[in-house]
Structure 1
């Protein structure tokens, strides 16, 4: 089964997480309520990559449904001010715009992302990739546009009611962001976002979610 889907990865700066360049040097930094947060250095970047591992009492379809529900992002993603659907190419392929609320005097960050879902026909692993892309939404004065980020969700069913989730993100917040703020988002952001996601998955509107049939 192959799915195309745009998830609302607004956790962009909220998770300050890393992909690709930090695959082998992960160090466990914190864990709470079954949520483990790892960090790793990224070449040519002052911002560490982050990886989050967690299990949820939910189905893969429910998690995909939550991620697809762009407007709900403000309900569970750390410090998200807004998240708006910009373009829907298909039910599983969207472009969205999000703004992250940062404490004064740092400018808010925003980004436009295009995310899609694929599923391995043999293992049934679902992978959701979501890089930031240029264009689509005009830049706003007083808000710094994030141009470089890579996010990935890897979702596997453990049994009929439990899933294992791996989330990684590499992001360059740009501008003059103080180290204390980067550290706050890198450490606290994943914990708070995943706690919020756990609660979001229990809402009735996601309980009967279904993945599309094989194309």
Structure 2
């Protein structure tokens, strides 16, 4: 790849990150200590979502729940099955199948997760769709585009603020009522279930 193309790619990546950071988040729902925000995404008819919750558990426990790929399916909203494809350094690749209400076809996704430890002790897990990594599965619509992140920020020894943010292009045909419901239910139910797991004795 030429130097000019590398430079252009770097600019595009930076622009994408700035765009995500500058989204105008609006509080959509607050329930059981969980706040869900939505934001418009230029060029997409699907909104980005952000969920925030504080969990009474230490960071290693919350992180362990996230890194247990098959087990995480128990608390990720609408998850039917999840498995680890590969782990290499700070990167891992996951395959996930999602249940959808009839008559909408089930979805599946391939996601690259990059885990980064920050100077303040927090952990960021960047999510990026990698749909071409696996051949398409019969009976599933492959999610063509996904970007997001998990931010785990310790607040003392046994308390963690968790932020879950994502924007997805689900592919295929999705009714507007389902799309509008999903962007609220996904962060709300995922964080509710994660908190219950993390705080269980």
TM over 0.5: yes
In 2, the alpha carbon distance for the partners of 1:22 and 1:108 equals 30
Name 2:101's counterpart in structure 1: 103
Name 1:34's counterpart in structure 2: 33
Q: Which has the higher helix share?
A: 2
In 1, the alpha carbon distance for the partners of 2:24 and 2:185 equals 21
Deviations 1:82-105 (A, max 9, x none): 001111224x53211001100111
Deviations 1:94-124 (A, max 9, x none): 2110011001111111011110211123x22
TM-score, length-normalised on structure 1?
Answer: 0.80
Name 2:5's counterpart in structure 1: none
Secondary structure class of the residue paired with 1:138:
coil
**Correspondence list, 1:11-22, <5 A:** 20-21=19-20
Q: What is the deviation of 1:172?
A: 0.5
Aligned in 2, Cα 1:22/1:116: closer, same or farther, shift over 3 Å?
Answer: closer
Deviations 1:116-147 (A, max 9, x none): 211123x2221110101133422112210012
Deviations 1:6-57 (A, max 9, x none): xxxxxxxxxxxxx943634111000111100000100000001111111001
Structure 2 unaligned residues grouped into runs of 5+ = 1-17
The structure that has the greater radius of gyration is 2
Secondary structure class of the residue paired with 1:135:
helix
Secondary structure class of the residue paired with 1:96:
strand
In 1, the alpha carbon distance for the partners of 2:20 and 2:45 equals 13
Aligned in 2, Cα 1:44/1:22: closer, same or farther, shift over 3 Å?
Answer: farther
Name 1:89's counterpart in structure 2: 88
Aligned in 2, Cα 1:163/1:139: closer, same or farther, shift over 3 Å?
Answer: same
Deviations 1:162-208 (A, max 9, x none): 0111111011111110001111211222221111101121356xxxx
In 2, the alpha carbon distance for the partners of 1:34 and 1:140 equals 38
**Correspondence list, 1:170-189, <5 A:** 170-189=167-186
Q: What is the deviation of 1:154?
A: 1.3
RMSD: 1.7
